[in-house]
A and B are shown apart, each in its own frame.
Chain A
Amino acid sequence: MIQCKTSKEIGGMGHSLKRKEDARFIRGQGKYTDDVNLPGMLYMAIVRSPYAYAKIKSINSEAALELPGVLAVITGKDLEQYNLHWMPTLMSDTQMVLPTDTVMYQSQEVAAVIATDRYTAADGVEAVTVEYEQMKPVIDPHKALDEDAPLLRPDKEGKTDNHIWHWEAGNRKSTAEIFENADVVVSQKMYLPRIHVCSIETCGCVASFDKAEGKLTVWMTTQAPHAVRTVLALVAGHVGLSEEKIRIISPDIGGGFGGKVPVYPGYVIAIAASVLIGKPVKWIEDRSENLQADSFARDYHMDVEMAATKEGKMQGLRIKTLADYGYTDAAANPSKYPAGLFSICTGSYNFQDAFTEMDAVYTNKPPGGVAYRCSFRVTEAVHAVERITDVLAQELKMDPVELRMKNFIQPEQFPYNSPLGWEYDSGNYPAALELALERIGYDDLRKEQVEKRARGELMGIGVCSFTEIVGAGPSKDFDILGIKMFDSCEIRIHPTGKAIARFGTKSQGQGHETTYAQIIAEQLGIPALHIQVEEGDTDTAPYGLGTYASRSTPTAGAAAAKASYKILDKARKIAAHLLEVDEEDLEWEPGKFWVKGSPEKSKTIQDIAFAAYTNHPQGMEAGLEATHYYDPPNLTFPFGSYICVVDIDKGTGQVKVRRFMAIDDCGNIINPMIVEGQIHGGLAQGIAPALYEEMIYDDDGNILNGTFMDYLVPTAVEIPHLETGHTITPSPHHPLGAKGVAESPTVGAPPAIANAVVDALSHLGVKHVDIPITPFKVWQILQEKGLAT
């Protein structure tokens, strides 16, 4: 049970307040981008390349332009006149908006049709004829650096191969020494395939350029509206767009998960079209376009090694990764971290030393990757360390729980400095794992497994004890395109004691309208129901870097607390004035000040708010408001232990998840109901890639499963019953002691499932299975081991 400091009426931290934003959604009155309709609005549809790598010989728009209702067909050559045919990516690479001569991936944008309605726009797309000269694409990243591989980015000055960058962290030499001298070294190749966020709402925008005002307004499915505004001003300043006359509005967003962080070519073309034509232009992508062209996640080929003593003490970790980026590095990572926060890969364990290196290469695939509910590559890092831990356990014939307990960073070691340079703020890994073990009945399950194994039945138990790293990030190390990763909150209290609070983040379902209100309610004692929360309109919201990588609570949540303290400071002065005492003579509890020793002499926050406009002290400004831009001193490190039980049907290879127990620790909890909901969703998005999802390409770069018919997003039948629990280890540096949480489950679930399946098959000599663990894959293993029907 979480102890709440405020009453239910105030609804501060710890209350499972029902969500304020539900009111519109349950009535179908959410306002998503495709719900925006403006007078005279035109529709845009995109012509896409059927080939992964080809020269464009010609684009013939005649037939399209003859269709009644088709107003324009925009090509790369049109945009080239305005130098808008290429744009920067968030990682300072460059990306085509529309190609002028070469297409680089199947489904790449080639031309855009602008028409009076969406049906005509679709017909227009069919009527555009493009002649291509196909070339042999680079699809296998392992071949991207071959001598005879074509140079994919001749546009980049001085580039002579398809290597993008090399990155390392840790000490190569001292780690090598550990490996040389270790009792035991285990190694495993692991591949995390490309997957897709598949939020149920696809991406899109309505761009509306007002010629008279010179003002551009864009409703856009973006998780980071301010960043988009600034980037547009920098990129399109030369065509007359000026930042004070650009307004980006993120309306309601139907799921983001990182997929709505990149600036997709479609947005830029729609904006250009609106500016050129002077009318609003709507572009909403189809699901097929979303799957086939938008930024992917993962796609890491990892070589993972661990060195340990024969008693099972982990000593060293080494990971070498080949990262497939598609044709441009359009990853959404902080600029100094091309591999994101991958160096969290030492995980929850007390390694002596570690070294990791990564090489990124270009291929003829869509660019990326996004931080898909993983806080910048943490899924990959955790998968590596949690799988190799089980590989070690198997090698040593040790129980994976025992091995973890033996190697956990202990509570007294925090703040903990990892060999790869992170200062973990707080953690209690043994407690989380103990709770998971107790709740799932681990010992009984192991007994059951022994019995089942004797009968030839395949049952597995998988453990994952992860440490996450969220809340990017401190200004000394974190920026995106140079913009520091602070975040902000602006609070204004009205005369009648109600409030409005605006933030630089942008919820896509995380419940900010409720949780931020709860944070402020906790500090000021104004009921959460009376605090209006707004995000997403760059004309009114304070500058922020948006919502992704579980950063909102760590940054903007802290900003809300800090802004509240500023308000409280002024409120105290007003209270002192009203009560005619000195400030030091006042006591405070959320909602009111009273005079020490004379509790009947009090003023509520509502009294104070009113006084701020009607009876404030001489010499003090009227009003009661504050803004805070919060620069986090560190990231926050949520953690957890997950245990899952699987049963494998030998006859079909199907893996059934019998139970999934998730114990999470995100420090102090704002709204338990919302946190639990986030865990459920993240678990589903972790179980999905473990068992169902992957993007499949053939050797010619054709996407073989580019629709929901074959890209398998699980239904309620595939997702098992999920069990959750929590421990609470507050963050010492966060004003609320809170950490981010929503990505932990996407990070922790895949290795838990992979570990369970391998555990089910380990007695057959199986050491590792790459995800997704499909029935076909399991069957192939059983075949190999002589067990299949």
Chain B
Amino acid sequence: MSKHTISFTLNGDSVTQEVDSRLLLVHLLRDDLQKTGTHIGCDTSNCGACTVLLDSRSVKSCTVFAAQANGKAVETIEGMEQDALHPLQEGFHEEHGLQCGFCTPGMIMRAKELLKKNPNPTEEEIRWGISGNLCRCTGYVNIIKAIQYAANKLNEQQKEAA
């Protein structure tokens, strides 16, 4: 087993940590860095509850070794609220896009990348876009509405900024 000193940013803050080579990114975040907003829902990389952004790309943190995050930017749900709630957080609240809340951080992080790449997704595109995230509570209906809400708000914010 090798140990590695890794440096990366976590929600914009620099972090340096010594990790075992086999430590999974999700465990680094949850157990060593106390960022428990990222959740574990399966053991075969199917459920997406562990989704975070790695250099702006949504990835399943249970299928990435912490060592692979060296030199990269990691974003988790804890970094979404800046001065105000992110439109996605607002959208999930306004549209009742969550019930038990367990899949929600993964959904929001995935949706963040989805909307960055496709600011005006159709319902179909959203469904395919979150096909790597399982939810048992909502039947996905209001999650889609939440993401549409956020898309509208982000587009408005873009227009205002322009």
Q: Which residues of chain B from 88 to 131 have a CB within 8 Å of any chain A CB?
A: 89, 92-94, 96, 98-105, 108, 123, 126-128, 130-131
Given contacts A27-B37, A713-B134, contact A708 B46 (CB under 8 A): yes
Q: Which of chain A's residues have a CB closer than 8 A to the CB of B44?
A: 287-288, 707-709
Q: Which residues of chain A from 507 to 521 have a CB within 8 Å of any chain B CB?
A: 508-511
Judged by a CB distance under 8 angstroms, whether A677 is at the interface is yes
Q: How far is the CA of A217 from the CA of B85 in the complex (A)?
A: 35
Q: Which residue of A lies closest to B93 (CB)?
A: A22
Q: Give the distance to chain A from B25, nearest Cβ to Cβ, in Å.
A: 14
Q: Which residues of chain B from 104 to 162 have a CB within 8 Å of any chain A CB?
A: 104-105, 108, 123, 126-128, 130-144
Judged by a CB distance under 8 angstroms, whether B27 is at the interface is yes
Report yes or no: B139 in contact with A722, Cβ–Cβ below 8 A. yes
Report yes or no: A677 in contact with B92, Cβ–Cβ below 8 A. no
Kindly specify which of A441-449, A680-688, A771-779 makes contact with the partner chain.
Answer: A680-688
Q: Which residue of A lies closest to B88 (CB)?
A: A26
Report yes or no: A28 in contact with B102, Cβ–Cβ below 8 A. no
Kindly specify which of A49-57, A198-206, A456-464, A755-763 makes contact with the partner chain.
Answer: A198-206
Q: Which of chain A's residues have a CB closer than 8 A to the CB of B143?
A: 716
Q: Give the distance to chain A from B48, nearest Cβ to Cβ, in Å.
A: 9
Report yes or no: A677 in contact with B96, Cβ–Cβ below 8 A. yes
Report yes or no: B138 in contact with A680, Cβ–Cβ below 8 A. yes
Q: How far is the CA of A685 from the CA of B136 in the complex (A)?
A: 7
Identify which of B40, B89, B136 contacts A684 (C-beta below 8 A). B136
Q: Which residue of B lies closest to A284 (CB)?
A: B40
Report yes or no: A28 in contact with B137, Cβ–Cβ below 8 A. no
Q: Which residues of chain B from 31 to 79 have a CB within 8 Å of any chain A CB?
A: 31, 34-44, 46-47, 49, 76-78
Given contacts A32-B102, A707-B43, contact A680 B128 (CB under 8 A): no
Q: Report whether over half of chain B's contact residues are helix, strand or loop; otherwise say mixed.
A: loop
Judged by a CB distance under 8 angstroms, whether B22 is at the interface is yes
Report yes or no: B137 in contact with A25, Cβ–Cβ below 8 A. no
Judged by a CB distance under 8 angstroms, whether B81 is at the interface is yes
Report yes or no: B39 in contact with A119, Cβ–Cβ below 8 A. no
Interface centre among A32, A255, A715, A722 (most CB of B within 10 A): A715
Q: Which of chain B's residues have a CB closer than 8 A to the CB of A288?
A: 43-44
Given contacts A27-B81, A708-B46, contact A22 B100 (CB under 8 A): no
Given contacts A673-B96, A677-B99, contact A255 B136 (CB under 8 A): yes
Report yes or no: B136 in contact with A30, Cβ–Cβ below 8 A. no
Q: How far is the CA of A677 from the CA of B137 in the complex (A)?
A: 8
Identify which of B37, B130, B138 contacts A29 (C-beta below 8 A). B37
Q: Which of chain A's residues have a CB closer than 8 A to the CB of B93?
A: 18-19, 22-23, 26
Q: Which of chain A's residues have a CB closer than 8 A to the CB of B130?
A: 715-716
Judged by a CB distance under 8 angstroms, whether A476 is at the interface is no
Q: Which of chain B's residues have a CB closer than 8 A to the CB of A26?
A: 85, 89, 92-93, 98, 101, 104, 108
Measured as residues with beta carbon below 8 angstroms from the partner, the interface class of chain B is: 35 or more
Q: Which of chain B's residues have a CB closer than 8 A to the CB of A30?
A: 37, 101-102
Given contacts A28-B76, A716-B126, contact A680 B22 (CB under 8 A): no
Q: Give the distance to chain B from A255, nearest Cβ to Cβ, in Å.
A: 5
Q: Which of chain A's residues have a CB closer than 8 A to the CB of B35?
A: 28
Q: Which residue of B lies closest to A28 (CB)?
A: B37
Q: Which of chain B's residues have a CB closer than 8 A to the CB of A23?
A: 93
Q: How far is the CA of A769 from the CA of B80 in the complex (A)?
A: 47
Report yes or no: B43 in contact with A252, Cβ–Cβ below 8 A. no
Q: Which of chain B's residues have a CB closer than 8 A to the CB of A657?
A: none
Report yes or no: A721 in contact with B76, Cβ–Cβ below 8 A. no
Q: How far is the CA of A508 from the CA of B31 in the complex (A)?
A: 24
Identify which of B128, B134, B139 contacts A200 (C-beta below 8 A). B134
Q: Which of chain B's residues have a CB closer than 8 A to the CB of A721?
A: 123, 141
Report yes or no: B139 in contact with A681, Cβ–Cβ below 8 A. yes
Identify which of A200, A677, A707 contacts B49 (C-beta below 8 A). A200
Given contacts A26-B98, A200-B136, contact A119 B20 (CB under 8 A): yes
Q: Which of chain B's residues have a CB closer than 8 A to the CB of A200?
A: 39, 41, 47, 49, 100, 102-103, 134-136
Q: Which of chain A's residues have a CB closer than 8 A to the CB of B78?
A: 27-28
Interface centre among A678, A680, A684 (most CB of B within 10 A): A680
Judged by a CB distance under 8 angstroms, whether A254 is at the interface is yes
Q: How far is the CA of A252 from the CA of B36 in the complex (A)?
A: 13
Identify which of A119, A708, A719 contacts B47 (C-beta below 8 A). A708
Q: Give the distance to chain B from A552, nearest Cβ to Cβ, in Å.
A: 14
Judged by a CB distance under 8 angstroms, whether A253 is at the interface is yes
Q: How far is the CA of A546 from the CA of B123 in the complex (A)?
A: 37
Interface centre among B37, B44, B130, B139 (most CB of A within 10 A): B139
Q: Which of chain B's residues have a CB closer than 8 A to the CB of A508?
A: 100
Q: How far is the CA of A95 from the CA of B3 in the complex (A)?
A: 44
Q: How far is the CA of A287 from the CA of B47 in the complex (A)?
A: 10
Measured as residues with beta carbon below 8 angstroms from the partner, the interface class of chain A is: 35 or more
Q: How far is the CA of A19 from the CA of B92 in the complex (A)?
A: 10
Report yes or no: B102 in contact with A254, Cβ–Cβ below 8 A. yes
Report yes or no: A253 in contact with B100, Cβ–Cβ below 8 A. yes
Q: Which residue of B lies closest to A678 (CB)?
A: B99
Identify which of B43, B77, B131 contacts A287 (C-beta below 8 A). B43
- Interface mask (A25-63 → B, CB under 8 Å = 1, otherwise 0): 111111110110100000000000000000000000000
Report yes or no: B96 in contact with A713, Cβ–Cβ below 8 A. no
Judged by a CB distance under 8 angstroms, whether A118 is at the interface is yes
Judged by a CB distance under 8 angstroms, whether A257 is at the interface is yes
Q: Which residue of A lies closest to B128 (CB)?
A: A717
Identify which of A201, A287, A673, A682 contacts B100 (C-beta below 8 A). A201
Report yes or no: B136 in contact with A681, Cβ–Cβ below 8 A. yes
Q: Give the distance to chain A from B19, nearest Cβ to Cβ, in Å.
A: 11
Q: How far is the CA of A18 from the CA of B89 in the complex (A)?
A: 13
Given contacts A255-B102, A673-B96, contact A716 B140 (CB under 8 A): yes
Q: Which residues of chain A from 658 to 698 have a CB within 8 Å of any chain B CB?
A: 673-674, 676-678, 680-685
Judged by a CB distance under 8 angstroms, whether A286 is at the interface is yes
Report yes or no: A708 in contact with B42, Cβ–Cβ below 8 A. yes
Q: Which of chain B's residues have a CB closer than 8 A to the CB of A19?
A: 93, 96
Q: Give the distance to chain A from B13, nearest Cβ to Cβ, in Å.
A: 16
Q: How far is the CA of A19 from the CA of B108 in the complex (A)?
A: 18
Report yes or no: B41 in contact with A680, Cβ–Cβ below 8 A. no
Q: Which of chain B's residues have a CB closer than 8 A to the CB of A677?
A: 96, 99, 137-138, 142
Q: Which of chain B's residues have a CB closer than 8 A to the CB of A717?
A: 127-128, 131
Q: Which residues of chain A from 146 to 183 have a CB within 8 Å of any chain B CB?
A: none
Q: Which of chain B's residues have a CB closer than 8 A to the CB of A119?
A: 20, 22-23, 27
Q: Which residue of B lies closest to A680 (CB)?
A: B139
Report yes or no: A27 in contact with B102, Cβ–Cβ below 8 A. no
Report yes or no: B140 in contact with A25, Cβ–Cβ below 8 A. no
Q: Give the distance to chain B from A745, nearest Cβ to Cβ, in Å.
A: 8
Q: Which of chain A's residues have a CB closer than 8 A to the CB of B38?
A: 28
Q: Which of chain B's residues have a CB closer than 8 A to the CB of A202?
A: 41
Q: How far is the CA of A29 from the CA of B132 in the complex (A)?
A: 22
Q: Which of chain B's residues have a CB closer than 8 A to the CB of A201?
A: 39, 41, 100, 102
Report yes or no: A719 in contact with B85, Cβ–Cβ below 8 A. no
Q: Which of chain B's residues have a CB closer than 8 A to the CB of A719?
A: 139-140
Q: How far is the CA of A785 from the CA of B106 in the complex (A)?
A: 45
Q: Which residues of chain A from 5 to 21 have a CB within 8 Å of any chain B CB?
A: 18-19, 21
Q: Which residues of chain A from 467 to 511 have a CB within 8 Å of any chain B CB?
A: 508-511
Q: Give the distance to chain B from A315, nearest Cβ to Cβ, in Å.
A: 38
Q: Which of chain A's residues have a CB closer than 8 A to the CB of B77?
A: 27-28
Q: How far is the CA of A255 from the CA of B47 in the complex (A)?
A: 14
Q: Which residue of A lies closest to B130 (CB)?
A: A716
Q: Can you list 8 residue pairs at the A/B interface with Cβ under 8 Å?
A: A19-B93, A26-B104, A28-B80, A32-B36, A119-B20, A201-B39, A253-B100, A685-B136
Excluding A201-B102, A254-B103, A716-B140, 13 further A-B contacts by CB distance (< 8 Å) are: A32-B36, A119-B22, A255-B136, A287-B43, A287-B47, A288-B44, A510-B99, A680-B142, A682-B139, A683-B139, A716-B127, A716-B131, A722-B139
Pairs A-B, 5 closest by C-beta atoms: A28-B37, A254-B102, A509-B100, A25-B101, A28-B77
